Structure 1
Amino acid sequence: MLMNLSGVLSEQHRPIDETVLPELESIQLKSRVYPVIQKEPVHVTVAHRKDRELQIQADGKVTLRIPCDRCLEEVEYEFLLHFTRYVDLGCSDAELREGFDESDFINGYHLDVDKMLFQEILMCWPEKVLCGEDCRGICNVCGQNLNKGSCDCEDTGLDPRMSVVRELFKNFKEV
């Protein structure tokens, strides 16, 4: 979704206050593609600050399907997007001053809302996605999802050769 910035960048500096529906269908990373299963209209405001500096605010919500980090079951993860970006179109991303953000989602007089949302989703990406706090994961021998039932794999336990190290940790354990 492209927004025309010519009104903001003109002599009149007319601010933009629009609600747009993003066209994002998926988030593609090197490892895999994460489908967008729900997206709400995004409220975007663009205001002129000075020279070629802009303030961009956006509010919206996007829900992706991401696999659980323990059991690999699909989880619906909701990204609440509420952010403000300050960009200076007068300088390149390599010359950015402190307090300004990259502006690679702006090309000429057009703001690419989908590219801006993609970057925000990447910055908000969770370190760990779990289907539940009590997720038991998968068996490291056969791959059975332990949330759905146990497997018949032999419990290997700990290596007996590590008993000396285990005793050291037990003796120096803080109370």
Structure 2
Amino acid sequence: MLVHLSDIVSQEGKCLKTEIPLALETIVAVGDTYKVVEQKPLQLMIVNTGDKVLELKGRTDVVVRIPCSRCLEAVDWKFSLEIERKLDMKQSEEDRIKNLDESDYITGMDLDGDRLVCDEILIQWPLKVLCKEDCKGICSKCGQNLNHGECDCEKGSLDPRMAAISDIFSKFKEV
């Protein structure tokens, strides 16, 4: 949803408190698309601090379904977002690009709440997601989820790059 900012920018000291309903269905991150399973409206406060500078403060919770890094089971990951930004509305689109200001959630005098929340989620994206702390992962041979039970694969297989060392040890056993 878009919030029009021209009224706030025109009056120094003006404050706007609003609740923006989010319409996020998916998040594209790390080269993949993830489903948004739950989201609360964005509680947003925008204050004109003077000289066409706006201070944004917002809060929301979004739950995204991400696969476990070890076993690929779906994990509902909660992002509790606290957003604080300053926007210089005197800058043009070209100035923002030149200054590497990545506020793609501002277009002209409109603020896109969905884009703002999406950017914040990408900043807080976890490096590793685990379904549980002691996740056993999957078997590298058959793909069995080892959290649901053991598989029948041979456990003693070595890395093929270590075959030469294995041959040395087997020669010493014969002596």
2:134 alignment counterpart: 134
Letter in 1 for 2:66: I
CA change 1:41–1:162 in 2 (3 A) is: farther
- Report the structure, 1 or 2, having the larger helix content: 2
Asked whether the 8 Å contact 1:7–1:15 carries over to 2, the reply is no
1:95-134 matched pairs, under 5 angstroms: 95-96=98-99, 102-134=102-134
Structure 2 contact 37–64 (Cα < 8 Å) conserved: yes
Q: 1:94 aligns with which of 91, 97, 101?
A: 97
Q: CA deviation at 1:33?
A: 1.5
Task: Let me know the Cα RMSD of the aligned residues.
Answer: 1.9
Look up the match of 2:35. Answer: 35
Q: Say yes or no: does 1:18 pair with 2:18.
A: yes
CA contact (8 A) 1:5 1:110 kept: yes
One-letter amino acid of the structure 2 residue matched with residue 104 of structure 1: D
Larger radius of gyration: 2
* Post-superposition offset of 1:96: 3.6
- SS of structure 1 residue aligned to 2:37: strand
* Residue equivalent to 2:75: 75
CA distance in 1, matches of 2:69, 2:30: 17
Amino acid at match of 1:33: T
Q: Distance in 1 between matches of 2:135 and 2:164?
A: 30
Gaps of 5+ in 2: 167-175
The alpha-carbon distance between structure 1 residues 83 and 11, as it changes in their structure 2 partners (threshold 3 A), is closer
Counterpart CA distance in 2 for 1:30 and 1:96 is 25
Structure-2 change in CA distance of 1:117 and 1:123 (3 Å): same
SS of alignment partner, residue 111 of structure 1? strand
